[in-house]
Amino acid sequence: MPNTGANAYPGRYRWLGLLGSLALAAGGLTSGALPAAATGPALRASGGAGTVLVFAGLTVLTAAWLLLGTSGRRAEGRHPSATRWLAVTLAWWAAPLLLLPPLFSRDVYSYLAQGALLASGFDVYTDGPAALGGPVAQQVPQVWQHTPAPYGPGFLLLARAAAPLAAHPYAGVLLLRLSAVLAVAALAALLPALARRLGTDPAAALRLGALNPLVLLHLVAGAHNDAVPLALLLAALLAATRRRPLLAAVLIALATLVKAPAALALPAAWWLAAGFSAQRLGQLADRGGWFAPAGRSAVVGGDAADGSGGRGRGFRLAVAMAAAAAGFSAQRQGQLAYRRGWFASTGRLAAVGGGAAGGAAGDPGGRGRGLRFAVAMAAAAAGFSAQRLGQLADRRGWFAPAGRSAVVGGGAAGGPGGRGRGFRLAVAMAAAVAATTAAVTAVAGTGYGWVAALTTPATDRSWSPTSGLGRLFAGLTGTAPQDAVAGARLLGLAAAAGVLGLLAARVVRRGSEPLAALALGFGALVVLGPAFRPWYALWCAVPAAFAVPAETARRAIELACAALAFTVMPDGFEPDAAELVLAAGGLAAGAVAVFLTERQITFQERQPAC
């Protein structure tokens, strides 16, 4: 029986993940980050059993996610309905977590307190929850009682909307979780859209970026505000690929006004809005079969020159080549191709281009470029792949000097006249960011204190790889731990800046993928930054879901996310020895349950049919 989008993934893994989510929910009722007033003797007495149940469910859920990827990996891209099946699976797995108290963190109580502080007229960038007092401040851990808000005015406006519920922490949690769940739903819609836009696998992007256990545990169950800027960031990148740079800039500004690291996406959005390189267009053509199956030669549109309907397309291609030699712009030819369906039955825009996009027919040099592209198209019919043609175009400067990004439908940063256009585009996007920041800050009435408060998440007790190295250095050398940790964090930030610089240089000089570089850049900030939380890894995993097609890299990200899912206790506090034993017992119970289930199903599948 041939696979379809539904049976490309065995349905048992959907049910297995749902079972794990239900166990998580049941255990979280007694061992989660409960409101202080709810932790009575009965709940405390059953907290141990809840911890076992949470880790058993977490093991089952994570195993279901990994097995889902292994089973469907070969079939994902071939079945358009696979994304719909995975979206339904996401809804199944998230549903049991929607009405729970917070799990794995008490940060959502801090969000409530900060919103109430703002609504009460306090300066959230100098005052901590202790200044507010009352039921909501009681829920905030002692370490954060006197610390200012590290978030921008965009998120504080959202938190202020929940301020009327501050006296009822559970209701406030549900309202803030609603915003996170809506953002996760947006992620589920944007991930496949971006993957299709960039020529990667939409189902694989959805599975890695939205079904990820870290999304379910920390964005849904934990109601972390990272969901909102991630959704805004993806919307901005999609707008950039559609040549809507000002909208992209506004969305990135809004994301940054929730969490500052989102600003890192602005250069990538500018690069995308400026235009793809010829090599990138060739890669898309190969992956999408715009020229022929497997991206090989023949006629644009995918039919062989001697195949059914190929002669007609071949004739239209000859007309387009003649038009290119005559000096028509790439934009004009692309418009004709799109309207008439000359190049692909799906209506995709094929870049058959003469001079700089938008150039006049009489533009000096345009005819020569058009002729060279016509020759290149003839070479495609002779057997070159589209990607190879793109490489040649970049190297020879057929589209833009020095192989810089060539624009289909607009000037590129490096195209003829492109430097001016690229600069003007950068100025316009920067102005849009500045205007959005000023407007949101004025509405919130918070001022710009959040810039100075960006170091708030990194307390002396905060763990990160760099702080761990600093403490190790202090232990070995006798240096004061505080000084060693501060020095190690500074070195980590310097190293992260160096990584970002190398990635930017690689994109500019070698035409590397800007979104893959963005994912790696976020990864560098997460690993080398002054504070580390498991859900921070999503800043790398979510863009990598659609921007990194390499299977080995994707698998490594999956395994890292799976491991990070087990690093936090259900109540969000550091565990003692007894809690670690309970967690290990739950993990073992979940692993045994998965093993027995898989063995039983495998045994049944091997039985001969009656």
Distance CA 184, CA 525 (A): 22
Distance CA 545, CA 224 (A): 20
Q: Which helix (H) or strand (E) holds 65?
A: helix 47-72
Residues 6+ apart with CB under 8 A from 365: 355, 416
pLDDT digits (tens, 9 = 90+) for 437-487: 999 999 998 888 877 776 666 666 678 899 889 989 888 888 888 888 889
How many Å from the N-terminal Cα to the C-terminal Cα in the chain? 18
Q: At what angle do helices 153-161 and 107-119 cross, to 10 degrees?
A: 90
CA 535 to the chain's CA centroid: 12
pLDDT digits (tens, 9 = 90+) for 18-55: 999 999 999 999 888 888 766 555 555 567 889 999 99
Q: Are 278 and 396 in contact (CB under 8 A)?
A: no
Least-confidence region, from 172-181, 276-285, 426-435: 276-285
* Of 423, 396, 418, 397, nearest in space to 407 by CA: 418
Whether residue 244 has pLDDT greater than 80: yes
Structure tokens at 384: 């070159």
Distance CA 139, CA 542 (A): 30
* Of 137, 77, 84, 92, nearest in space to 112 by CA: 137
Whether residue 546 has pLDDT greater than 80: yes
Least-confidence region, from 270-274, 428-432, 461-465: 461-465
pLDDT digits (tens, 9 = 90+) for 173-215: 999 999 999 999 999 999 999 999 888 889 999 999 999 999 9
The pLDDT, as a whole number, for residue 469 is 92
- Which one-letter amino acid corresponds to residue 586? G
Structure tokens at 253: 């500004």
Q: Are 408 and 330 in contact (CB under 8 A)?
A: yes
Whether residue 94 has pLDDT greater than 80: yes
Structure tokens at 215: 């999304």
User: 272-286, 307-321, 326-340 — which one is most confidently predicted on average?
Assistant: 272-286
**Measured between alpha carbons, how far is residue 282 from residues 51, 177, 327 in Å?**
52, 43, 22
Q: Are 291 and 380 in contact (CB under 8 A)?
A: yes
Longest Cα separation, the chain: 85
Whether residue 398 has pLDDT greater than 90: no
Structure tokens at 223: 């109601």
